[in-house]
Amino acid sequence: MAAVSFHETKNIISGEGGALLVNDPRFAERAEIIREKGTNRSRFFRGQVDKYTWVDIGSSYLPGELIAAFLLAQMEEGTEITKRRLHLWDRYHASLEAVESKGMMRRPIVPADCGHNAHMYYILAENLEKRTSLIQDLHNQGINAVFHYVPLHGSPAGEKYCRVSGDMSVTDDISTRLLRLPLWIGLEEHLDNLLEKVTEVLGSTGIQKA
């Protein structure tokens, strides 16, 4: 089994919620039951039983029809959504090359044999103090730049329930320096102005035009 998130920060969204992927028939029926408030209602709709009833634990995990329709439309356009996000990502990457060359921050590194879906564009600041300053400077320009998640192993639940193997100093360090820049469908029409402000704040002038 695997889980897919459709949270509003993802490439394909429904606001909240997600999907459970099941590739073993032994678990599929119980997943349906848990999703349907602990009932065998799905079997009833397929005509496999003459009535449905409560047979297990569960909750109401079904999306409403409007949310499902909203999500389906994006799934049908998934390839185009990824293409547009990659275009935004590439523009960021090209425009911030000069800033990186001056040692002011580091851009993402994508190995030559790997690909990505442009889920986010981030930079790594020199330290926490510099990142905090950059976030404030960008906000002053009307740009909603944010930091990323607190490492799981350092969170209250992580410390209580999880364990780590080895040194987590790299994770701890990067978590204090990572800064995410806006990346969403529809940003294209604002991108030149956005990149001009971002490069100005980060200490460079001029951007690479589309």
Closest CA to 175 of 104, 127, 111: 127
The per-residue pLDDT for range 67-95, each reduced to its tens digit, is 999 999 999 999 999 999 999 999 999 99
Neighbours of 147 (CB within 10 A): 17
Instruction: Give the model's pLDDT for residue 150.
Output: 86
Tell me how far apart the alpha carbons of residues 170 and 209 are, in angstroms, rounded to a whole number: 35
Instruction: Give the model's pLDDT for residue 62.
Output: 86
pTM of the model: 0.84
DSSP three-state, residue 4: strand
Tell me how far apart the alpha carbons of residues 75 and 11 are, in angstroms, rounded to a whole number: 10
Neighbours of 149 (CB within 10 A): 8
- pLDDT > 50? residue 204: no
On average, the pLDDT of the chain sits at 91
- pLDDT > 90? residue 103: no
Instruction: Give the model's pLDDT for residue 26.
Output: 86
Q: 188 CB contacts (<8 Å, ≥6 apart)? A: 84, 87, 88
Contact present, 43 and 35 (Cβ < 8 Å)? no
The per-residue pLDDT for range 118-172, each reduced to its tens digit, is 999 999 999 999 999 999 999 999 999 999 888 999 899 999 998 888 899 999 9
Instruction: Give the model's pLDDT for residue 3.
Output: 95
Tell me how far apart the alpha carbons of residues 143 and 156 are, in angstroms, rounded to a whole number: 31
Instruction: Give the model's pLDDT for residue 209.
Output: 45
The per-residue pLDDT for range 27-49, each reduced to its tens digit, is 999 999 999 999 998 888 899 99
Least confident of 2-6, 32-36, 64-68, 206-210: 206-210
Residues shown for the chain = 210
